[in-house]
């Protein structure tokens, strides 16, 4: 009997697919600058695996609470609790 896999990208066939109209990873999106307190949307860019949060956080709005190297700490509400994620800027968008 084959054991079911439970990997990090499990059940994300459509969520992490790059659609035809999705622009490729651009340098301007990779070097975005956010300040502490900025509200951001987690928008996973499928062609960049590095610095990607778990797919369940895709589309959630969070607040930037810190920085580590090139990545940002983003505080996201997950049910009744809060989670702090370390995310690269290519996977983030500012909330207008």
Percentage with pLDDT > 70 across the chain? 100
Quote the pLDDT of residue 64: 98
Q: What is the pLDDT of residues 67-81, one digit of tens each?
A: 999 999 999 999 999
Q: Where are the domains of the chain?
A: 27-94
Query: Other C-beta atoms within 10 Å of 92: how many?
Result: 25
**Topology of domain 27-94, CATH:** SH3 type barrels. (2.30.30)
Residue at token pair 């607040």: 63
pLDDT at 79: 93
In this prediction, residue 14 has a pLDDT band, given cuts at 50, 70 and 90, of: confident
Which two three-digit tokens encode residue 46? 């499928």
Position 32 confidence tier, pLDDT thresholds 50, 70, 90: very high
């Amino acid at each position: 009997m084959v054991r079911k896999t439970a990997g990090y990208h499990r059940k994300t066939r459509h969520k992490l697919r790059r659609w035809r109209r999705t622009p490729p990873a651009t340098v301007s999106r990779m070097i975005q600058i956010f300040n502490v307190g900025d509200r951001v949307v987690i928008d996973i860019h499928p062609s960049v695996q590095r610095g990607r949060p778990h797919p369940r956080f895709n589309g959630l709005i969070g607040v930037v609470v810190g920085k580590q190297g090139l990545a940002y700490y983003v505080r996201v509400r997950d049910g009744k609790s809060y989670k702090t994620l370390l995310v690269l800027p290519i996977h983030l968008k500012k909330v207008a």
